[in-house]
Structure 1
């Protein structure tokens, strides 16, 4: 090979020798870059893991706080519910004897309005109760008796006993008709158990209450045929047109009070006999009911009804002592107290009595 022909090979070798260090350096740099990227990737993974753990911990803490707030709110609600009265109201229809009930009311008046609205025909409240159970008992004669109790079973037993004590026969209290109104009956047993000791220790538990509507207890204890006929305090014209311009609040208030206008008009009767203690007054759900019950309470064989007046009128009774421990009685009725007194005094003076002492004078309004 000539010198001229060898020259290209010499140049190629020189180039390869010169490029070798550069290629080696480039490979080392690439390796270092790969290593650095791997380190960065690892650090990024660690940061992501830590970030994920932080997020999990933050979510767990938030959930725990929400649960704590919920428990605190629930405890506060139970405390408020335990200390307030949960009102129940029983009303009876004087038309057919059916009874209606409203339970767990925040307000006694509102519960009465709701119960009266449910009742059909002419109706009357029987009783209001709170924070206890209540049960009815029926006698074979047709009498109805209500009694309270801490449990449905105790209320039923008390109602049956009251029925028997009043002279009822075959007294029975259907278990399914017992009712309860109160926080410890509305909440789950576990909630009551968890908070009862604390609430009781602090005195934050409302006691049982029972308010009987005047005259209703005696009324429902009678057989339906002996209860008399009641009339509503105010007649309702169901066909009367409704004024479309009246405010909704006024219409709503009237609808809520509609049941109260159908409340039985009460009567007051005074019965008296010739004995010193033969005297009784009764407030009933109609004239017959008031008069019959007053006579039954009078306590004398010769008792008679002196006067009976509906709600809105006035009554007066005079009792005059006679020889031999006897008493003469006179009664008067009128739209005003003066008119009622004049009627009673006229009868008394006409009998020849020298003095006419008034023992009762009141307007039933």
Structure 2
């Protein structure tokens, strides 16, 4: 028994000794595998962190580029808007004296059409302007005057000065009736400030412009009772249709017709006297307006209206020096220049003149 027991003990001890190297080797391999997995996990984590940083940087770069593009586009737009003219048009109703205005148009002609279309009754343009402020002033007598300026306040002051210079009494310019048309009035002050130096250095700032409509200033300066009665145009000039290359040519033609048929028919009057400088021609918004203004401009106490013609007709005037040193005038009107000149020449020759110099011959078309 003792021998058998010793043998078993010896065998067990021998097995354990033989198994110990194998167990140790397996443990080392497991440790290596765990270490390798840890390294792999760490490297993967690092790669994920780098990828995240790259994505964040790429998004930030894209956002910065978008912002830069936006700023460049905004700057380009401001430059373009500062260079171009921002047109405005004032139109008055000859029926009741009310007026309306269209602002910030890119095309001067379209601004005129829009203003005329919005006006009610028989109407006439008063003025076209750009890149400035305008304001009306009213006299106690009922006259209306316009002023231009860099600001609404400056425009109001200019209008009041014009009113007083024309003999107006208690001239006033309501602040709420002043208005402006231009890039520096449409943009925020901060936008104008940021680009002002660059635009000024480049000279890329559109200047103020003012184009009065013929006869409108004199017409509005009169009290309403002295302005006369205007009639609307009856025909539309189709010799110059809207540009057919434009997609809205038909609309433009219709708007042109609507504005023209309601536009006050202008008249041209010639006033003359016997004095050397007693001669004046005026384009007015009706016959009375044209005649009265021509007489007021004529430099002589004995001035009379020689001839007055409406839009669509022609006028001619002959003026010569008489034997007594006084000037003598003859006038004619007709559908053509030849007819108007023939009428004036007939009167001149009939008066016994040997020479009949034509000093004026125009068609109001």
TM score, norm. by length of structure 2? 0.90
Mark the CA change 1:250 to 1:208 in structure 2 (over 3 Å): closer, same or farther. closer
The answer to whether 1:364 aligns with 2:349 is no
In structure 2, what is the Cα distance between the partners aligned to 1:317 and 1:255?
38
SS at match of 1:25: helix
- The structural deviation recorded for 1:227 is 1.3
For the pair 1:50 / 2:50, whether they are aligned, the reply is yes
Structure-1 residue corresponding to 2:254: 255
Instruction: Give 1:337's aligned residue.
Output: 337
- For the aligned residues, what is the CA RMSD? 2.3
* Aligned match of 1:120: 120
Distance 2:318 2:121 in 1: 38
Contact 1:86/1:106 (<8 A) preserved: yes
Q: CA deviation at 1:351?
A: 2.5
Matches of 1:5 and 1:235, distance apart in 2: 140
Distance 2:359 2:310 in 1: 19
Tell me the equivalent position of 1:23: 23
Deviation digits for residues 267-301 of structure 1 (CA, Å, limit 9, x no counterpart):
10011112121111000111111111111111222
Partner of 1:267: 267
Q: What TM-score, normalized by structure 1, do the two folds share?
A: 0.90
State the secondary structure of the residue aligned to 1:90: strand
Q: Distance in 2 between matches of 1:281 and 1:97?
A: 25
Tell me the residue number matched to 2:198.
198
Matching of residue 35 in structure 1 with residue 45 in structure 2: no
Any unmatched runs of 5+ in structure 2?
237-245
Q: CA deviation at 1:13?
A: 6.6
> What are the superposed Cα offsets for residues 175-230 of structure 1, whole Å, 9 maximum, x if unpaired?
12111111111111112112212221222211111111111111111112211121
The change in CA–CA distance for 1:148 and 1:248 in structure 2 (over 3 A counts) is closer
In the TM superposition, residue 93 of structure 1 has moved relative to its aligned partner by: 1.1
In the alignment, what sits opposite 1:244?
Answer: none
Which secondary structure does the structure 2 equivalent of 1:353 belong to? coil
Name 2:187's counterpart in structure 1.
187
Instruction: Give unpaired runs (5+ residues) of structure 1.
Output: 237-246
Match of 1:162 in 2: 162
Q: Secondary structure at the match of 1:110?
A: helix
SS of match in other structure, 1:255: helix
The alpha carbon displacement at 1:324 in A equals 3.7
Q: Distance in 2 between matches of 1:181 and 1:234?
A: 32
Give 1:134 shift: 1.0
Q: State the distance in 2 between where 1:343 and 1:254 align.
A: 37
Within-5 A mapping of 1:6-21 = 18-21=18-21
Report the Cα offset of residue 15 of structure 1.
Answer: 5.4
Residue 315 of structure 1 contacts residue 362 of structure 1 at CA under 8 Å; is this kept in 2? yes
| Aligned-partner Cα distance in 1 for 2:159–2:247 | 43
1:252/1:11 CA distance change after superposition, 3 Å: farther
Name the counterpart of 2:73. Answer: 73
Superposition pairs for residues 96-111 of structure 1, below 5 Å? 96-111=96-111
Q: Please, which moves more after superposition, 249-258 or 41-50?
A: 249-258
Cα drift, residue 9 of structure 1: 8.2
Aligned residues: 355
Give the match for residue 239 of structure 1: none
Per the alignment, residue 306 of structure 1 pairs with: 306
Question: Post-superposition shift, 1:23?
Answer: 3.3
Match of 2:75, SS state, is helix
- Tell me: CA distance 1:42–1:346, structure 2 relative to 1, closer, same or farther (3 Å): same
Deviations along 1:316-345, one digit per CA (max 9) or x if unpaired, are 112231244312222111111121122222
